[in-house]
Structure 1
């Protein structure tokens, strides 16, 4: 018998439960039912009227705010509607019984179901296939470390000396979120001190006991569960940070970890790696105060074609594009982000090559644009580029390994430029009847100088991963592993690493910490103590060979000084193992610097069951015009709306058709075109976006008239898009994050794999409005 089907009849019996005519009422209300069913109903009524002492606490369980209510010395936390349901049930049952308790919970479930249905209906109505999540690729996340949800008492000392008793809501190595007993506003951005009273009592560690740690108040707000302060650490206390790191690591299975942080980090890392790999933009780093401004360039397999286009007479000509005079002219503006067009071509005379280049401003100022274009477009190596230039100071965001030192050349960077080839037929003013002029006037744009010194070009994805010089040398050493001593020999060494061979077979786990005594080398020095030097196992190979990396700052300092002095004093004795390519800074730092070049809009196309969809997008806040266009009709800055690429069946023409054709031929492809975006108001005074391709205009004249008309109305944006196949994101790069995620939420790991492995195509968009107009 299902009592839910008879709930109204059972409720009608409740008032008669202690009256003599209860049985007669039971027979009347359940007339026609079997005696066994009537017996079960009677037992259910007896169960419902039994007294209850259970507390109803709806905090953290419902969306609505739960308030405190007292009833017969029992404190409940109820919503307004749940309290009304409680009072009605108390009146029905005559006291707090099991029936009252279940009645309130049933009411809460019904409210939740209604809310869920409304939310589902709202989502159905609000689904917009053009809106995608914005993925930050430039590593400027506000949350810099994973949180662990852990409650512990703290005291907060404000700038005015007041002390607040509070409790942590979550903690990380970079900040904490604390809950106050009641709402009270505090001075924003003030420096406060936090005393971890709860942790100090539980852990008698000198890094935290009776210590006041400096934090800065970055946010305060009333939330559903209370009033919270968000604090970022402002103290330079490595011991404290190390303690918090260890505490989170050792307790991450006991307390809930913010796996969504690792999910976001993994997705960003994988997408950024694929984007940098497929980027056709060449990042160029400059020092505007130097006699030779260009410092270095960052190359991948795609943008190296741009570098090749600037080679002439077996020399790199890019330093002359950024000569001191030309750079000063470009920087002679108040704009933070400078954009222009650069034209270049190669002229061959008497077997000699000459490269000419000019910016849009130079050609306009000297009235030579028509001559340069008409003459240059008929020469070899004719190219048109989109150039951006903006101030840039390298600031490391990541926590780097001990040996990943900051390159000296990074300290001189004042600006970053990007050069992107534009392979489209943009409108260029041409008068076929006009005299082309004297080509000798173009001699002023010839690169005549010779390069001063070598301009390094660093590979973003190098084959050579060695960070420093390595030398072959055999020497006896003693290893201490977890209290056991072993003998081994050095095969080769560098300032921060060793390659060793164990004398006896022994399996050493990766990441194991080893202490080494350099028994032979200690005999040649009294200046350095070469015992208990800490190394960590990086990898292993056949014949018990292990590759080690220095593991502590003190050990690194000692061995770097000793090996440098040793090699310098005995240059003929040590044979350097040759590098496969030019020495360059460590790859993670190059990738971090390359983030400055990620200012186009990127859209990532996933192909699932043969159907392509734009799954993610990435637009930096600094790309204001693109962010404004693609944030159209979005409710959040974390969303992008690609309606400018999809209306007027544009997506089918610029994306789906090329993909279908490439699938048939199974070959990589690259397509570049222009899109003309018009923003107009409809009859309801709402903005509407309409987009067109070149073939949508009857003629070049019609396209020109369209551009001129909407230029006056300031309703036009002209985009250059590049569609290209990309390599599937490399999941090995995010193995550590995926391992953590899989420990807590295996479904997120599967979701991450599916999302990333389906990405096959990237759409890159640049705003060319000003340049075309």
Structure 2
């Protein structure tokens, strides 16, 4: 019999070797085997259970760094894998035996073992597919808070645990206030524990003997390693007040070559992170808002959230979103001492005599009967929306930190008190959910308290996320007499304020009742009198915007054959007088203003952004942006992945076409795709065992959904998410291009590599946790 054939018997009998009932168990286990097999097994057991007196030195024999250990009276040189194996083997064999010695000299990273198994290591196609949705983790906004020097180098450390164990580790990121170190997984580590760390190698290199002393650190995070289960990563925070670590870091960095390399790496990390951050900001469907008390001051717009912003414009195309955040609501959401708050709004529009009337209800307002009536009346309309407002107080420390970045913005910062993120979480497919309950026997007039006032209009500044110009053509300040004609209003005279080939801004002599849906005819009186053969009479224009006074109006020319000659004349007029026509310059936000707002937003993510690339003709998720500490959803993806990657496989693996491929076929800057997905997180003994997901369309009925939710809660946890995917045409913003240009001046090879990496992004998305709203809408909350 070969060793492999009787080895299973040996493994079964190790726990009972030396026990009084060993012979009985042995006979039972091998009852059907020949007596010779019984003898061979006993001989092998006696051999591996013999006490061992040999020291082990794995230096140069394993793929890993070895440290000296005193164990059971013997001195060994072991790496992280071996020390982990030692503790597991000692527990199994009971003491240091020949079996333990063999386990330590045959670990998986032993060069001899690696060579032997070289041809057995292969990656199947299925395994490659499993890795398509493991996304690299990028910590958004992190570089903004790190003003201190840090040393990104590998240096040996020793760690004294609270139970007295002294272990060896290796640092990868060291600063005066914290550290990240790699330690063996064989030992127990607890969040919040105080450990004593010393830096013998750094002490020798810098000549600072104090580094051999013990420095108290608190464990803030414990992460498994992607590469090996034999070690873990600890995130530590310094608990003492001294500057010895800072002095050591400066000593290492003061060497010109290392300082230059450090600065370059720091800049590369910053530019890379900012590249992904700006791609996210450019493609988000959320609206960032900034408040001064209960007054909305600023909104940050993109091509993808502008439709939600435009939704809150009245029939004259004037912004009225300020009524959503009326004083009593904001006072409730910004109570003193409340650092953050979150609420939902239900809303719809009602057209009445050429007026657009807005209705909104905050989730905490009204009675249950009023809310159900609001749902039944509103959810039947196309204008129905459910939106979430996440509100954060701007603390003094935030403002002080930002003033170090842009001190000239002190006047703006001093007025801001809160920032908010407005997220739409409704879908056309979910509107029927709000009609599942019986309609209350209340009169519709009961909703009148939730109707918005028609005045005043919002005075908030809508700023584009980037400082790039948005106008498609230049405008010029030019005044000339015009007559506006409307079938119901007749003729009204006025003058142009500015003019372009396709647009007009005019000031009428009297107020008119026009809306953004109106079509009018415009005659250029003075210009027409100069040349009667030129088609400058009764040119068709669409109304874009009407000022609240009804006098100032913005127009856009009709795109038709009738207007082609008129457009050609206006083009020649502008071209021939270009030197005399003063340009009406677009008012762009300052880079400093945007920089401040971006930094505030990137530290307060309310959704999880992810980025898509095409690799070898396969669509895959590349990176994911997070804040620390990780939110509940990201902790689930991390559990399925590892320390540096989050695994989004439960969302995308069987739905690549619906969630990734089809959205990327939609022309960029046109439309984002949204899907609702339910998650059942199976938890056993406090640990996540598996995650099951179902798209909304995959449920056969309402009862099917209820059953899924009920079972999810029975076996663990239920979560609901809204996944948004957007095609990316140009991932580089003007800010990203500026940062890359600065990096190229010092390290062009890094700049080129980063530009290629960022340019290969083909899609961007967001994952929003909408669990609470789903449970409320299904009357399960």
3-state DSSP class of the match of 1:408? helix
1:272 lines up with 2:272 in the alignment: no
Structure 1 residues 186-197: aligned runs within 5 Å: 186=215
Which of 363, 383, 386 is residue 384 of structure 1 equivalent to?
386
Which of 599, 624, 630 is residue 631 of structure 2 equivalent to?
624
The equivalent residue for 1:446 is 451
Structure 1 residues 4-19: aligned runs within 5 Å: none
Which of 311, 315, 327 is residue 324 of structure 1 equivalent to?
327
Maintained 8 Å contact 2:374/2:447: yes
TM-score, normalisation: structure 1? 0.55
Structure 1 residues 364-403: aligned runs within 5 Å: 365-379=367-381, 381-393=383-395, 395=398
> Structure 1 residue 589: deviation in Å?
1.9
Rounded Cα–Cα distance in structure 1 between residues aligned with 2:175 and 2:685: 52
Rounded Cα–Cα distance in structure 2 between residues aligned with 1:657 and 1:771: 27
Rounded Cα–Cα distance in structure 2 between residues aligned with 1:765 and 1:402: 30
3-state DSSP class of the match of 2:693? strand
The equivalent residue for 2:356 is 353
* Alpha carbons of structure 1 residues 169 and 124: separation in structure 2 relative to 1, 3 Å: closer
> Structure 1 residue 435: deviation in Å?
5.2
Rounded Cα–Cα distance in structure 2 between residues aligned with 1:721 and 1:751: 30
* Alpha carbons of structure 1 residues 116 and 372: separation in structure 2 relative to 1, 3 Å: same
Give a deviation string over 1:383-441, Cα, whole Å, max 9, x none. Answer: 22122223333726978799761242322333322112234233734247645631111
Maintained 8 Å contact 2:467/2:734: no
Which of 749, 764, 767 is residue 765 of structure 1 equivalent to?
767
The equivalent residue for 1:231 is 246
1:599 lines up with 2:642 in the alignment: no
Rounded Cα–Cα distance in structure 2 between residues aligned with 1:670 and 1:282: 14
Maintained 8 Å contact 1:66/1:80: yes
* Alpha carbons of structure 1 residues 451 and 596: separation in structure 2 relative to 1, 3 Å: farther
Structure 1 residues 204-223: aligned runs within 5 Å: 219=238
Structure 1 residues 151-300: aligned runs within 5 Å: 179=203, 180-181=208-209, 183-186=212-215, 219=238, 230-231=245-246, 251-252=256-257, 256-257=261-262, 259-288=264-293, 292-300=294-302
Rounded Cα–Cα distance in structure 1 between residues aligned with 2:742 and 2:176: 17
3-state DSSP class of the match of 1:362? coil
The equivalent residue for 1:612 is 619
> Structure 1 residue 633: deviation in Å?
3.1
TM-score, normalisation: structure 2? 0.54
Which of 672, 675, 679 is residue 673 of structure 1 equivalent to?
675
The equivalent residue for 1:426 is 430
Maintained 8 Å contact 1:599/1:623: no
Rounded Cα–Cα distance in structure 1 between residues aligned with 2:583 and 2:668: 42
Rounded Cα–Cα distance in structure 2 between residues aligned with 1:623 and 1:64: 33
> Structure 1 residue 269: deviation in Å?
0.7
Rounded Cα–Cα distance in structure 2 between residues aligned with 1:355 and 1:582: 30
* Alpha carbons of structure 1 residues 337 and 642: separation in structure 2 relative to 1, 3 Å: farther
The equivalent residue for 1:305 is 307
> Structure 1 residue 312: deviation in Å?
2.0
**Structure 2, unpaired ranges of 5+:** 1-58, 70-75, 80-104, 155-170, 180-198, 219-235, 471-581, 776-781
Give a deviation string over 1:346-405, Cα, whole Å, max 9, x none. Answer: 222233332111122225x35222221222234463322122223333726978799761
Maintained 8 Å contact 2:663/2:726: no
> Structure 1 residue 717: deviation in Å?
0.4
Structure 1 residues 491-530: aligned runs within 5 Å: none
3-state DSSP class of the match of 1:284? strand
> Structure 1 residue 689: deviation in Å?
0.5
The equivalent residue for 1:641 is 647
Rounded Cα–Cα distance in structure 1 between residues aligned with 2:176 and 2:215: 24
Rounded Cα–Cα distance in structure 2 between residues aligned with 1:622 and 1:111: 33
Maintained 8 Å contact 1:345/1:383: yes
Rounded Cα–Cα distance in structure 2 between residues aligned with 1:130 and 1:712: 28
Rounded Cα–Cα distance in structure 1 between residues aligned with 2:600 and 2:685: 47
> Structure 1 residue 626: deviation in Å?
2.2
Rounded Cα–Cα distance in structure 2 between residues aligned with 1:111 and 1:685: 29
Maintained 8 Å contact 2:267/2:743: yes
Structure 1 residues 561-576: aligned runs within 5 Å: none
The equivalent residue for 1:474 is none
Rounded Cα–Cα distance in structure 1 between residues aligned with 2:337 and 2:116: 51
Rounded Cα–Cα distance in structure 1 between residues aligned with 2:583 and 2:382: 43
Q: 4+ residue stretches of structure 1 with deviation over 6 A?
A: 78-81, 115-127, 148-151, 168-177, 247-250, 332-335, 397-403, 682-685, 739-747
Maintained 8 Å contact 2:376/2:439: no
The equivalent residue for 1:655 is 660
* Alpha carbons of structure 1 residues 147 and 745: separation in structure 2 relative to 1, 3 Å: farther
3-state DSSP class of the match of 1:688? strand
> Structure 1 residue 313: deviation in Å?
5.0
> Structure 1 residue 611: deviation in Å?
1.8
Maintained 8 Å contact 1:720/1:768: yes
Maintained 8 Å contact 1:344/1:358: yes
**Structure 1, unpaired ranges of 5+:** 1-56, 68-77, 82-106, 152-167, 190-216, 222-227, 234-240, 466-575
Maintained 8 Å contact 1:148/1:258: no
Maintained 8 Å contact 1:728/1:758: no
Rounded Cα–Cα distance in structure 2 between residues aligned with 1:772 and 1:593: 29
3-state DSSP class of the match of 2:430? coil
The equivalent residue for 1:341 is 344
Maintained 8 Å contact 1:174/1:232: no
3-state DSSP class of the match of 2:262? coil
Maintained 8 Å contact 2:333/2:341: yes
> Structure 1 residue 692: deviation in Å?
0.5
1:411 lines up with 2:417 in the alignment: no
Maintained 8 Å contact 1:286/1:293: yes
Give a deviation string over 1:243-288, Cα, whole Å, max 9, x none. Answer: x89x979924787436443332121111111111111111112244
Give a deviation string over 1:130-185, Cα, whole Å, max 9, x none. Answer: 4322112224566546767899xxxxxxxxxxxxxxxx999999999963546321
* Alpha carbons of structure 1 residues 646 and 381: separation in structure 2 relative to 1, 3 Å: closer
Maintained 8 Å contact 2:389/2:420: yes
Maintained 8 Å contact 1:342/1:360: yes
1:456 lines up with 2:461 in the alignment: yes
3-state DSSP class of the match of 1:312? coil
